[in-house]
Amino acid sequence: MPTFRPAYIETFKKGLLAKKIEAAYEILKSCTLCPRKCRVDRLAGETGVCKTGEKAYVSSFNAHFGEEDPLVGTHGSGTIFFTHCNLLCIFCQNYDISHLEHGEEISNEQLAGIMLHLQNKGCHNINFVTPSHVVPQILSAVEIAIPEGLSVPLVYNTGGYDSVQTLKLLEGVFDIYMPDFKFWDPEIAKTTCNAKDYPEITQKALIEMHRQVGDLVTDDRGIAKSGILLRHLVLPSGLSGTREIMRFIARKISLNTYVNIMPQYRPCGRAGEVKELSVYLSQKDYETALQMAKEEGIERLDSRRRRFMIF
């Protein structure tokens, strides 16, 4: 198999990365980076839904071994958890990070240093968790890190609420997209994250991601190099709309899409405000979701099985 070279290397050499950074920071002057379209001047310190101004906030970073096998490999996925979020689901399992703002403001130079540190530890990729609101900062940090030797794939690990306009800036930078498709019903999206347009937005975002990178490609060790790895968190009482989402993936994305049907839902944050979300996911609900995926033609399912917590 030919030696893998991340797309951002060529993008940097052609001078295109600098243009992408300029365009991304221009957006921050009246921010429409994500579908919230807050139109605040983040460069002047104003903040919108994501509560982030000019600089990114990071809550933690580490070699993570709890991700999907194609990302973890033998040395882990180099995860960087950004503070704040543009979606703010009431049941977020990282509620302290997304809602309670645990984390520290960092410079782009510091972010580049974190990326290089994780690569030097042997991580197979740099995995940006909740990156939708800090795209300019990430692009700038990548530009700084490339001359210092950055050479592993970058993972865009997102809740799926992404603007196609912003995703187009990421073309030629990210080789791996890892979106979640959380809900199919607009009313559920409105109740849980005040984003009734989430299903529509996410469908368009996934189509754009797949146009850029295609299906997941792994090397001879089974480690991801490019493509989409899609996540779907199963919610109690069928609130996530699994069948409709799997049907969309099969018909509009690809039957060869790598999908992780995730069973680890637990009531976190303000989940108790919705009766159906105040309980743990049952094994039956999870197995039903798996069956729905298979019935819709999705066969490339993540094989890792997470434990159910019985109470």
Note the pLDDT tens digit of each residue in 183-218.
999 999 999 999 999 999 999 999 999 999 999 999
User: Which residues are paired to 179 by β-bridges?
Assistant: 158
Q: What is the pTM of this model?
A: 0.95
Residue 177: its H or E element: strand 176-179
Residue 303: per-residue pLDDT = 82
pLDDT beneath 50: ranges in the chain: 307-311
The confidence score (pLDDT) of residue 305 equals 52
pLDDT of residue 2: 61
Both tokens assigned to 169 = 């800036």
* Domains of the chain with bracketed CATH: 7-295 (3.20.20.70)
Whole-angstrom distance, CA of residue 91 vs CA of residue 277: 8
pLDDT tens track for 77-106: 999 999 999 999 999 999 999 999 899 999
Cα 119 to Cα 40, 62, 113, distances in angstroms: 35, 10, 10
Cβ within 8 Å of residue 224, ≥6 positions away: 70, 71, 124, 125, 153, 155, 176, 216, 217, 218
Q: How far is CA 213 from the centre of its chain?
A: 15
Residue 304 has a pLDDT of: 66
